[in-house]
Amino acid sequence: MKKLFNKRNYKKPLIISGPCSIESPGQLEETVSQLVDQGIEIIRGGVWKPRTRPGSFEGLGSIALPWIREVKSNYPVKFAIEVASAEHVEEALKYEVDIFWIGARSTVNPFTVQEIADSLKGTGKPVMIKNPVNADLSLWMGAVERFQKAGITDLAVIHRGFSNFRDTIHRNSPLWQIPIEFRTHFPEIMMINDPSHISGKRELVPLIAQKALDLNFDGLMIESHIDPDNAWSDAMQQLTPAALKKMLSELKTRKVKFEGQKMKSQLEEIRQQIDQADHDLLEALHRRFELVEKIGEYKKLNNVAVLQLDRWKEIFESRPEWGKPLGLNKDLIQEIFGLLHQESIRKQTEILDSE
């Protein structure tokens, strides 16, 4: 059977779009009609909507499934919905739903993932797996492995961001290093970015989408509604089909590899310089930790506690200032020195506790 999620079958990016929630036959039909006019071939739509808190609109449920079958009979599209239980799968299969995705709240629970994987065994249906709500790469990988062990190999994953109470910009922090790390383990699996759920605000959707394409993601899942301001769920992050068309026309796609011998030679020369800079950086870290160990020995000799808050505050405030004239990102410097401080505490604690 031909796989839907095969990278060789698509010219990047693969676009999946549709409303956050299916609200009525008319809303669904008009949205699909406008998206098809733009060349969209895979439609998404929320039927069951797991919400964080009770009282929010949680989808119409099975009542919307006949409407999906109807639009599929009228338009050349495949339809994707989220399922959170074996019962959802059973109901959706009756109405010829083409693609299933596992939501972030389900991915976090291995029992739920296994139940859904078992219910889809032997159906041949393509499956998309969203990253878990929390930033746990192992849970995401484990969900993929459970579907693979159930014999389901037509798989894609969706990067929709991670919960982070410190992030005041995004609805869900992208934490790009996690999907990048995922791809080192599963390079053959298509990775689709969900800029709608990462941004939470429609004005940020193009920025997130472009970032994903710059990082060589294979596709985008973008929420689109004919009247976003009056949508029953996630109104702030949905685009009209017309706005979606404009955004897609402005996105830039990148070459996957360098072309031409001259370009490759220049790239290799720069990479060699990076290798040397990294070697110098590691030598500097080695020297720093030699000094950290000397301080640890001195503290042990004088029976002084490892943690010195005044000193840490001085480092945390001064190093970003030192980086300013060098054009270095403040957040990066604070994160690096935070890690260095943790390792310094570990090393000095070992010294104080040693006989």
* pLDDT tens figures, 165-178: 778 899 999 999 99
> CATH number for the domain including 217?
3.20.20.70
Say how far apart CA 36 and CA 19 lie, in whole Å: 13
Say how far apart CA 281 and CA 65 lie, in whole Å: 58
- Claim to verify: residue 246 and residue 265 sit in the same structural domain: no
- Claim to verify: residue 231 and residue 345 sit in the same structural domain: no
Given 191, 222, 250, which residue is the final one in a domain? 250
- Outline where DSSP puts E strands in 194-277: 219-223
User: 202: domain range?
Assistant: 7-250
> CATH number for the domain including 311?
1.20.59.10
Mean pLDDT value across the chain: 93
Give residue 41's pLDDT: 96
Any domain includes 2? no
| Spatial contact of 196 and 223, defined as CB atoms under 8 Å apart | yes
Q: How many domains does the chain have?
A: 2
- Claim to verify: residue 73 and residue 184 sit in the same structural domain: yes
- Claim to verify: residue 176 and residue 320 sit in the same structural domain: no
- Claim to verify: residue 173 and residue 239 sit in the same structural domain: yes
| Spatial contact of 91 and 62, defined as CB atoms under 8 Å apart | yes
Q: Stretch 259-281: mean pLDDT, rounded?
A: 84
Phi and psi of 251, rounded to 5°?
-70, 145
- 156 has pLDDT over 70: yes
- Claim to verify: residue 49 and residue 187 sit in the same structural domain: yes
| Spatial contact of 88 and 58, defined as CB atoms under 8 Å apart | no
- 219 has pLDDT over 70: yes
In Å, what is the CA distance from 298 to each residue of 268, 303, 304? 45, 8, 8
- Claim to verify: residue 95 and residue 227 sit in the same structural domain: yes
Give residue 260's pLDDT: 72
| pLDDT band at residue 54 under the 50/70/90 scheme | confident
Task: Return the structure tokens found at 323.
Answer: 């980086």
Percent of the chain having pLDDT more than 90?
82
Give residue 346's pLDDT: 94
- Claim to verify: residue 225 and residue 314 sit in the same structural domain: no
- Claim to verify: residue 192 and residue 90 sit in the same structural domain: yes
- Claim to verify: residue 154 and residue 43 sit in the same structural domain: yes
CA angle 55, 173, 117 (to 5 degrees): 70
Say how far apart CA 109 and CA 113 lie, in whole Å: 6
Any domain includes 42? yes
| pLDDT band at residue 52 under the 50/70/90 scheme | low
Given 250, 275, 291, which residue is the final one in a domain? 250
Any domain includes 256? no
| pLDDT band at residue 138 under the 50/70/90 scheme | very high
pTM to 2 decimal places: 0.80
Give residue 2's pLDDT: 81
Say how far apart CA 239 and CA 40 lie, in whole Å: 14
- Claim to verify: residue 132 and residue 243 sit in the same structural domain: yes
Given 185, 217, 250, which residue is the final one in a domain? 250
Any domain includes 239? yes
Any domain includes 255? no
Query: Which ranges constitute the DSSP H helices of 150-260?
Result: 177-185, 195-199, 205-214, 241-250
- Claim to verify: residue 86 and residue 28 sit in the same structural domain: yes
Task: Return the structure tokens found at 86.
Answer: 């074996």
